């Protein structure tokens, strides 16, 4: 999962892009990058690390120009090497930079086609570089010295025919403008908006989440539609066109569960409201399965479960308490590579408040359960703090399948719910009982209030194993599993570190 942003303005955008990436930092903590443009020249700064660590004053002063794009990353394809941080650049045609959120499911075929048919070289294992080269090739085929919006749309239309999977994109074409692209299924989110500068001129912004636009004073126009292109040319004129096939929109439902900030809106649906409803529906299920429950207190596992847990407690008529203090300087354990690092980080990240656990029957609420490692350790903390009984509730259904659309879900055998019943998962994590959200209720929770429940479709593949692009088979999943399991990650991390040492020694 990544965060992307692009701004076309009439004053320098370096600080605005920095601020936007800071707001989107929750979407990726591995690397960050910004490219700006001035007088047909790109200025780039990207590296591994948090936004605040990548960009210092000396870097910001070099990012000149009134148009730019930015990216925050954690790796779902390719390695964690700084060589694969984004945005990516290609010099032909015109000079193009691109930042991408998502995952191409036909990346290997595209790499072969780019080499054999398009005569283009891909230098990394990142599918974002593949996407950039496909776009560059299709734009070059338009054969125009000065491309117009018609040429841009034609190139993207061809890109949609070639690229499968999930992708939300911001890109810049040197001297010609900025564009945003959303895949034909609309799996990954993308929104755009406008604001007026002091001289009455309209400036535009495109980003992964609406909260980034809010923070910079942009008024949201709307979400980029599935298969749509938003193009702002160098003169500041806005053009939009649906260039992709007419497919059923299936936004990723896990955005509402975990990734998106609660103050964001995705496809017209409030993430906060969705999480409130998750808590409501989960409380109803607990009352059905455990009508005579003896819960004394509901405690959320910070941060993203707090909204659901509070609503759950209200509906159960049980006290809500903050039982864990979070160290805000530790990254999100779900997106940390390596099991050893995840285990170590849990106790560094959370510390229990003993008074809220001692001699109480506690219901812990989390947004989801992936590997189960974090849940297991937190339940142990609760018992060590004197809890009498420890129950557990997940605001999401059981995750039984890997994600192929840009969320770094592990190999399926590393998912604790894969090939286990709910009761077996509860036993494995050490809970006295466990309750999962029902998928039907999660879908209702994420559906906007002005739509009929069940009228909207979502990508729920991590819960039901149904991959909406229709090109995922066991062979693909086996290859994905081989690249995503912890052993493969640890090997790749060692290779990346060795490469960096060699680079330093040869410098």
- Per mean pLDDT, which range of 49-63, 137-151, 161-175, 477-491 is the poorest? 477-491
Binding residue positions for Mg(2+): 304, 366-367
pLDDT at 449: 80
Q: Is the pLDDT of residue 23 over 80?
A: yes
Q: Is the pLDDT of residue 491 over 60?
A: no
Q: Is the pLDDT of residue 315 over 50?
A: yes
Provide the edge-to-edge strand list for the sheet that holds 319-320. 319-320, 297-300, 361-366, 389-394, 434-436
- Angle, helix 339-349 to helix 373-384, in steps of 10 degrees: 40
Q: Where in the chain is the domain with CATH 3.60.20.10?
A: 3-247
Q: Longest C-alpha distance within the chain, in Å? A: 75
- Architecture label for domain 3-247: 4-Layer Sandwich (3.60)
3-state secondary structure of 233: strand
pLDDT at 1: 82
End-to-end CA distance of the chain: 33
Q: Per-residue pLDDT tens for 271-289?
A: 999 999 999 999 999 999 9
pLDDT at 348: 79
Angle, CA of 210, 216 and 222, to the nearest 5°: 30
Element (H, E) at 369: none
Alpha helices in 117-171 (DSSP H): 127-140, 149-162
pLDDT at 328: 72
pLDDT at 496: 47
Phi, psi torsion values for 231, nearest 5 degrees: -125, 125
Angle, CA of 60, 63 and 67, to the nearest 5°: 130
pLDDT at 345: 61
Q: Is the pLDDT of residue 499 over 60?
A: no
Alpha-carbon distance of 49 to 371, in angstroms, equals: 25
Query: Per DSSP, what are the bridge partners of residue 38?
Result: 41
Task: State the residue for tokens 């806005």.
Answer: 238
pLDDT at 304: 87
Task: State the residue for tokens 């570190």.
Answer: 497
Q: Per-residue pLDDT tens for 108-145?
A: 999 999 999 999 999 999 999 999 999 999 999 999 99
Phi, psi torsion values for 72, nearest 5 degrees: -120, 140
pLDDT at 504: 39
Q: Per-residue pLDDT tens for 327-381?
A: 877 655 544 444 454 455 677 788 999 999 999 999 999 999 999 999 999 999 9
Phi, psi torsion values for 21, nearest 5 degrees: -65, -35
Q: Can the peptide bond before residue 209 be classed as cis, meaning omega within 30 degrees of 0?
A: no
Nearest to 34, CA basis, from 99, 79, 93: 99
| Catalytic residue status for 163 | no
Give the whole-number percent of the chain exceeding pLDDT 70: 90
pLDDT at 113: 96
| Chain mean position to CA 372 | 20
Using an 8 Å Cβ cutoff, are 85 and 31 in contact? yes
- Per mean pLDDT, which range of 78-87, 183-192, 244-253, 438-447 is the poorest? 78-87
3-state secondary structure of 241: strand
Q: Is the pLDDT of residue 418 over 90?
A: yes
Task: State the residue for tokens 């292109």.
Answer: 229
pLDDT at 295: 97
Q: Per-residue pLDDT tens for 64-117?
A: 999 999 999 986 554 555 678 999 999 999 999 999 999 999 999 999 999 999
- Per mean pLDDT, which range of 143-147, 344-348, 409-413, 494-498 is the poorest? 494-498
What stretches of 19-157 adopt beta strand conformation (E)? Answer: 31-38, 41-48, 67-73, 88-90, 96-104
Query: Per DSSP, what are the bridge partners of residue 251?
Result: 458
The percent of the chain in helix, strand and coil, each rounded to the nearest 5, is: 35, 25, 40
Average pLDDT, the chain: 91
Q: Is the pLDDT of residue 487 over 60?
A: no
Query: Per DSSP, what are the bridge partners of residue 320?
Result: 298
Q: Going by C-beta distance under 8 Å and a sequence separation of 6 or more, which residues neighbour residue 201?
A: 10, 236
pLDDT at 222: 97
Q: Is the pLDDT of residue 505 over 80?
A: no
Higher pLDDT, residue 33 or 507: 33
Using an 8 Å Cβ cutoff, are 35 and 42 in contact? yes
The dotted CATH code for 272-326+346-451 is 3.40.50.2020
Q: Is the pLDDT of residue 168 over 50?
A: yes
User: In which band, very low, low, confident or very high, does the pLDDT at 411 lie, cut at 50, 70 and 90?
Assistant: confident
Element (H, E) at 84: none
Alpha-carbon distance of 400 to 425, in angstroms, equals: 11
Alpha-carbon distance of 467 to 471, in angstroms, equals: 8
Q: What is the DSSP letter of 173?
A: E
Q: Is the pLDDT of residue 269 over 50?
A: yes
Alpha-carbon distance of 223 to 189, in angstroms, equals: 8
pLDDT at 360: 97
Among residues 2, 163, 243, 460, which one is catalytic? 2
3-state secondary structure of 336: coil
Alpha-carbon distance of 507 to 502, in angstroms, equals: 8
Angle, CA of 332, 433 and 319, to the nearest 5°: 75
pLDDT at 507: 39
Q: Is the pLDDT of residue 502 over 80?
A: no
Q: Where in the chain is the domain with CATH 3.40.50.2020?
A: 272-326+346-451
- Per mean pLDDT, which range of 33-42, 318-327, 341-350, 443-452 is the poorest? 341-350
Alpha-carbon distance of 169 to 265, in angstroms, equals: 18
pLDDT at 18: 98
3-state secondary structure of 180: strand
Q: Is the pLDDT of residue 454 over 70?
A: no
Q: Going by C-beta distance under 8 Å and a sequence separation of 6 or more, which residues neighbour residue 292?
A: none
Using an 8 Å Cβ cutoff, are 47 and 54 in contact? yes
Using an 8 Å Cβ cutoff, are 158 and 439 in contact? no
């Amino acid at each position: 999962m990544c965060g992307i942003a692009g701004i076309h303005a009439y004053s320098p955008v370096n600080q605005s892009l920095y601020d936007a990436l800071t707001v989107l930092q929750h979407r990726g903590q591995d690397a960050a990058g910004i490219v700006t443009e001035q007088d047909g020249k790109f200025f780039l700064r990207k590296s591994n690390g948090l936004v605040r660590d990548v960009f210092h004053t000396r870097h910001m002063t070099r990012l000149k120009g009134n148009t730019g794009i930015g990216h925050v990353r954690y790796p779902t394809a390719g390695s964690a090497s700084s060589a694969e941080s984004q945005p990516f650049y290609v010099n032909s045609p015109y000079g193009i930079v691109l930042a991408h959120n998502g995952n191409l499911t036909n990346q290997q075929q595209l790499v072969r086609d780019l080499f054999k048919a398009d005569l283009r070289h891909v230098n990394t294992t990142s599918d974002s570089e593949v996407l950039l080269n496909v776009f560059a090739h299709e734009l070059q085929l338009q054969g125009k010295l000065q491309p117009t919006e018609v040429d841009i749309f034609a190139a993207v239309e061809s890109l949609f025919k070639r690229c499968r999977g999930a992708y939300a994109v911001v890109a810049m074409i040197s001297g010609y403008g900025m564009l945003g692209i959303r895949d034909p299924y609309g799996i990954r989110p993308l929104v755009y908006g406008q604001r007026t500068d002091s001289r009455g001129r309209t400036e535009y912004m495109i980003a992964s989440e609406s909260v980034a636009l809010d923070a910079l004073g942009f008024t949201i126009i709307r979400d980029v539609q599935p298969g749509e292109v938003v193009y702002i040319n160098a003169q500041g004129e806005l053009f939009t066109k649906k260039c992709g096939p007419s497919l059923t929109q299936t936004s990723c439902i896990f955005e509402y569960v975990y990734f998106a900030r609660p103050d964001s809106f995705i496809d017209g649906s409030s993430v906060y409201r969705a999480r409130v409803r998750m808590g409501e529906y989960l409380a109803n299920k607990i009352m059905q399965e455990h009508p005579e429950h003896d819960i004394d207190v509901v405690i959320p596992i910070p941060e993203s479960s707090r909204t659901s847990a509070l609503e759950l407690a209200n509906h159960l008529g049980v006290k809500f308490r903050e039982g864990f203090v979070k160290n805000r300087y530790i990254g999100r354990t779900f997106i940390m590579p390596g099991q050893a690092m995840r285990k170590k980080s849990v106790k560094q990240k959370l510390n229990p408040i003993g008074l809220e656990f001692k001699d109480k029957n506690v219901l812990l609420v989390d947004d989801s359960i992936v590997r189960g490692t974090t849940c297991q350790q937190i339940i142990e903390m609760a018992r060590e703090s004197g809890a009498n009984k420890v129950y557990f509730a997940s605001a999401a259904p059981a995750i039984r399948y890997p994600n192929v659309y840009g969320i770094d879900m592990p190999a399926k055998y590393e998912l604790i719910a894969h090939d286990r019943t709910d009761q077996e998962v509860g036993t494995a994590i050490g809970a006295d009982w466990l309750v999962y959200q029902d998928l039907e209720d999660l879908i209702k929770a994420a559906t906007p209030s002005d739509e009929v429940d069940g009228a909207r479709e979502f990508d729920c593949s991590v819960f039901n194993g149904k991959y909406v692009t229709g090109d995922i088979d066991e062979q693909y999943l086996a290859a994905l599993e081989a690249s995503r399991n912890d052993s493969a990650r640890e090997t790749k991390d060692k290779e990346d570190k060795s490469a960096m040492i060699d680079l330093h020694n040869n410098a």
